[in-house]
Structure 1
Amino acid sequence: MGGGRPRFGAMELEHPLATLPRVRGDRDDDGKERRSGTVWTATAHIITAVIGSGVLSLAWAMAQLGWVTGPVTLVLFAVITLYTCGLLADCYRVGDPVTGKRNYTYTEAVKSNLGGWYVWFCGFCQYANMFGTGIGYTITASISAAAINKSNCFHWHGHDADCSQNTSAFIIGFGVVQVVFSQLPNFHKLWWLSIIAAVMSFCYSIIAVGLSLAQTISGPLGKTTLTGTQVGVDVDSAQKVWMAFQALGNVAFAYSYAIILIEIQDTLRSPPAENETMRRATSMGISVTTSFYMLCGCLGYSAFGNAASGNILTGFGFYEPFWLVDFANACIVVHLVGGFQVFCQPLFAAVEGAAAACCPGSTREYGAARLNVFRIVWRTAFVAVITLLAILMPFFNSILGILGSIAFWPLTVFFPVEMYIRQRQVRRFSAKWAALQSLSFVCFLVTVAACAASVQGVLDSLKTYVPFKTRS
């Protein structure tokens, strides 16, 4: 953790990328080991950070938006993310971009450039994103685990067999695994978890693209339209509006990368100035991921049309080869078992740091196993709450839409814009100030609409869902 022992609510959050080993040698200007990252390593980090479970919902999002709005939406989100991440890269150092004081985390950048209530708002957004991501990962991993059973069932008993599964049991199983992993001390220091997660995410993403391409070539193809799902045929007019906005939230989730940009930038060597390298890496990384998203979204839509499932690997548009579908879903489970800890360990450390500052004896460890009563109780309770909420709301697309909303406007647009205005002293009501604020306001409206639609999706699903009984 940067900046000493943090206080709960305004602490510095450390991402596992910040623990990647650096080449020993001379010291950098801040006294730390000389950073060795290049534009290529930063690009690799960006690609592995962006491509993940969000790719699974893009075919469904395309089905809600259609051939015109769908690709345009992907490009617009890419352009906005590219621009605002460029602004954020300029905030790595305070003042001079070459010799200014470094900010090691996103929160520290907000504190250095804005301060005050902005720091607390940033902390809230990060905690909400981490907590929500825990729920989202639990749901996604459990659906994929259930899909493995369904895939085998369909293969052996035919595609018309009743192979529905109760996902609640898989959610509980995932929760038990996370309770055990959460007790491992220094789990967040195991930087190789990011490598495993990256390999797994590439595997299932490439399989999704490959299967979609094979289905598109071999047919039969689903019905596609310029505007996506049709009112009066697939959905009614209210559903069309709600699901289109929910699709925007799903696309926003696929581009949630800004939260770890500062940590990636802190691995770069200089000269050249870190912000210059980071801008180049962001351009390359976003270009690659957007091209990949286009392939996955467009091929998935062309294969299944307006009936594309919410999760392309668990909706069973693909039945064969069943072993490949099984492998892809197994990759998702492995990715998210580690990914859950990657996101939650910084939150664990922050709460325990606050507890240690308040009551020094509360985090005392005992014996060779380093048992800690507070850690056992608090982390188990946290995972239990996550598991319970996942059981009550196991709705993949709606939860992704909510997560995308939480992360997109505040962390990708609002803070980068505000920090850039403050750092560059952009004059109030000038043309540049008005353009930046207009961008932020429009993105805010999109976020509100996507969040409202996703919440509406959850409420609609709850009308027919019964925990432990409803099968999917």
Structure 2
Amino acid sequence: MEAEASLYGKNYSHRTVEEKSEEQKAIDDWLPITSSRNAKWWYSAFHNVTAIVGAGVLTLPYAMAELGWGPGIAILLISWIVTLYSMWQMVEMHEMVPGKRFDRYHELGQHAFGEKLGLWIVVPQQLIVEVGVNIVYLITGGQSLQKFHDIVCTADCKKISLTYFIMIFSSVHFVLSQLPSFNSISGVSLAAAVMSISYSTIAWGASVDKGVQPEVQYGYKEGSKADRVFGFFSAMGSIVFAYGGHNVEMEIQATMPSTPDKPSKVPMWRGVVVAYVVVALCYFPVAVLGFWAFGNTVDTDVLVSLQKPKWLIAMANMFVVVHLIGSYQIYAMPVFDMIESVLVKKLKFRPTWWLRFVTRNTYVAFTLFVAVTFPFFDALLPFFGGFAFAPTTYFLPCVIWLVICKPRRLSLSWFVNWACITFGVMLMICGPIGGLRKIIQRAKTYKFYGHY
């Protein structure tokens, strides 16, 4: 009887383990990051283009005006190199433990810093980035719709508040947010990537066509010394914001198949290289030629400075709208994954379509509420850029690399990583200072839910 009971206990334990593993597999197959692993290398390319080449590219000429020719080009170029290097590190670390994949950014952080500390280091920063970007993109999408309306509308058209345009732009996300996984939004992401290339090309092409404006000046704007210093800091934050695609890198790579012979890092890196070539072809011409044409009088959005031909600028603003639809979804998907993981794994909710419907619509509604309450787009860019993007994009991958890979002290890898960390910390400190000052200045004259 004892032997039978013991055997029964072993069988019971074995069945329990099997049931748990089956349950875990069913949950992983339901969660948006791990539900589909059949992506190709070009998925990586256009997902990364959509994530990186955001509407922030249109503010680069203004950032150049705040920084000046030398510092502006230097920070743009160094940021391109540093973020490409840190992206390579993340691609390499995705499967650095044999037989295990770090499908989410925080899982890599937990491996480096420990289960609890890794969560506290990575998750708050990642959430600030992703939720912050979603809010900023709702504002930008509303602004682009408003600009389109103002351009195509006749002179006797009634002015419409930005709040309503943000609400119109947000409405599509209540539908698209129900797409279950990263791969299911690949069509939306591809369209967004094409649109980002298109409006960037219009921005620099129209700048070339317009040529250098009369009495153009490339020196710093008139104003107090404090204005110039804070403007310099703010511009650094705007550039950081423009390069932030690392917060979804691990999640994008998680959608790719992987075998010992063909690890996921091979197609992922191929896509990243293509994406960064596209980034360079978008960012540098827009920044340099936009500043060249308008000098220090360029608007925060270079499309506003261009104005003519009206039909082309109107079309560019609609391209921005389409791009931001896809970009919002790219940044929202990891947030959906976090929320649904907590609800299903920790709080033991059943993984159903109804749970997904409620949680995702609640999230979209939350970002909409914040967007219509605080529509300070050009001030939010440097603030979020420096405060959140700089750590997760510029130096956190380098810190994790030093912790896990432990390169020899004073070796080339050691020096390169510490140089990237130093540069990233500098941007993290400076960017939010300028951005916060702009937010305070705008808040003084802003009326909640009024005409902005």
Same fold (TM over 0.5): yes
2:180 pairs with one of 171, 177, 186 = 186
Find the aligned partners of 1:384 and 1:42 in 2 and give their Cα distance: 29
Decide whether aligned partners of structure 1 residues 383 and 307 sit closer, same or farther in structure 2, where only a CA change above 3 A counts: same
Q: How does 1:143-162 map to 2 (within 5 A)?
A: 143-153=143-153, 156-157=154-155
Decide whether aligned partners of structure 1 residues 92 and 355 sit closer, same or farther in structure 2, where only a CA change above 3 A counts: closer
User: After alignment, is 321-330 or 437-446 more displaced?
Assistant: 437-446
Shift of 1:19: 4.7
Find the aligned partners of 1:285 and 1:121 in 2 and give their Cα distance: 28
Q: Deviations over 1:117-140 (max 9, x none)?
A: 123321111111111011111110
2:197 pairs with one of 193, 197, 202 = 202
Shift of 1:215: 1.1
Q: Partner of 1:241 in structure 2?
A: 229
Q: Partner of 2:66 in structure 1?
A: 64
Whether contact under 8 Å (1:224, 1:301) holds in the other structure is no
Q: Partner of 1:299 in structure 2?
A: 289
Q: How does 1:45-56 map to 2 (within 5 A)?
A: 45-56=47-58
Q: Partner of 2:280 in structure 1?
A: 290
Q: Deviations over 1:212-263 (max 9, x none)?
A: 12112xx5356232xx423xx2x32111111111111111111112223334
2:384 pairs with one of 388, 392, 403 = 403
Q: Deviations over 1:14-44 (max 9, x none)?
A: 669x95745xxxxxxxxxxxxx63xx77555
Q: TM-score, normalised by structure 1?
A: 0.78
Find the aligned partners of 1:464 and 1:470 in 2 and give their Cα distance: 11
Secondary structure of residue in 2 paired with 1:470: coil
Secondary structure of residue in 1 paired with 2:299: coil
Q: Partner of 2:216 in structure 1?
A: 223
Decide whether aligned partners of structure 1 residues 181 and 84 sit closer, same or farther in structure 2, where only a CA change above 3 A counts: closer
Q: Partner of 1:464 in structure 2?
A: 445
Q: Which amino acid aligns with 2:425?
A: F
Decide whether aligned partners of structure 1 residues 377 and 435 sit closer, same or farther in structure 2, where only a CA change above 3 A counts: closer
Decide whether aligned partners of structure 1 residues 301 and 120 sit closer, same or farther in structure 2, where only a CA change above 3 A counts: same
Find the aligned partners of 2:401 and 2:238 in 1 and give their Cα distance: 27
Q: Partner of 1:32 in structure 2?
A: none
Whether contact under 8 Å (1:42, 1:278) holds in the other structure is yes
The answer to whether structure 1 residue 327 and structure 2 residue 315 are counterparts is yes
Q: Partner of 2:420 in structure 1?
A: 439
Shift of 1:169: 1.7
Q: Which amino acid aligns with 2:151?
A: S
Shift of 1:427: 4.8
Q: Partner of 1:126 in structure 2?
A: 126
Shift of 1:346: 3.1
Decide whether aligned partners of structure 1 residues 352 and 284 sit closer, same or farther in structure 2, where only a CA change above 3 A counts: closer
Find the aligned partners of 2:268 and 2:122 in 1 and give their Cα distance: 22
Find the aligned partners of 2:410 and 2:396 in 1 and give their Cα distance: 18
Q: Partner of 1:75 in structure 2?
A: 77
User: After alignment, is 200-209 or 401-410 more displaced?
Assistant: 401-410
Find the aligned partners of 2:445 and 2:268 in 1 and give their Cα distance: 47
Decide whether aligned partners of structure 1 residues 355 and 455 sit closer, same or farther in structure 2, where only a CA change above 3 A counts: same
Whether contact under 8 Å (2:31, 2:181) holds in the other structure is no
User: After alignment, is 249-258 or 286-295 more displaced?
Assistant: 286-295
Q: Which has the larger radius of gyration?
A: 2
The answer to whether structure 1 residue 416 and structure 2 residue 397 are counterparts is yes
Shift of 1:347: 1.8
2:302 pairs with one of 296, 312, 315 = 312
Decide whether aligned partners of structure 1 residues 265 and 326 sit closer, same or farther in structure 2, where only a CA change above 3 A counts: same
What's the C-alpha RMSD, in Å, of the aligned pairs? 3.4
Whether contact under 8 Å (1:245, 1:453) holds in the other structure is yes
Shift of 1:300: 0.9
Q: Partner of 1:426 in structure 2?
A: 407
Q: TM-score, normalised by structure 2?
A: 0.81
Decide whether aligned partners of structure 1 residues 195 and 286 sit closer, same or farther in structure 2, where only a CA change above 3 A counts: closer
Whether contact under 8 Å (1:5, 1:353) holds in the other structure is no
Shift of 1:149: 1.5
Q: Deviations over 1:393-438 (max 9, x none)?
A: 2122221212322443322233321222233223568786466335
Give the gaps of 5 or more residues in structure 2: 1-21
Shift of 1:453: 1.4
Find the aligned partners of 1:90 and 1:336 in 2 and give their Cα distance: 29
Find the aligned partners of 2:134 and 2:248 in 1 and give their Cα distance: 17
Shift of 1:310: 0.9
Decide whether aligned partners of structure 1 residues 435 and 200 sit closer, same or farther in structure 2, where only a CA change above 3 A counts: closer
Decide whether aligned partners of structure 1 residues 338 and 429 sit closer, same or farther in structure 2, where only a CA change above 3 A counts: closer
Q: Partner of 1:33 in structure 2?
A: none
Secondary structure of residue in 2 paired with 1:90: helix
Q: Which amino acid aligns with 2:90?
A: L
Find the aligned partners of 2:308 and 2:118 in 1 and give their Cα distance: 51
Decide whether aligned partners of structure 1 residues 466 and 345 sit closer, same or farther in structure 2, where only a CA change above 3 A counts: same
Aligned residues: 423
Secondary structure of residue in 1 paired with 2:302: coil
Secondary structure of residue in 1 paired with 2:196: helix
Whether contact under 8 Å (1:352, 1:363) holds in the other structure is no
The answer to whether structure 1 residue 384 and structure 2 residue 365 are counterparts is yes
The answer to whether structure 1 residue 451 and structure 2 residue 441 are counterparts is no
Q: Deviations over 1:297-326 (max 9, x none)?
A: 11111222111111122x2x2232222222
Give the gaps of 5 or more residues in structure 1: 7-11, 23-35
Decide whether aligned partners of structure 1 residues 306 and 114 sit closer, same or farther in structure 2, where only a CA change above 3 A counts: same
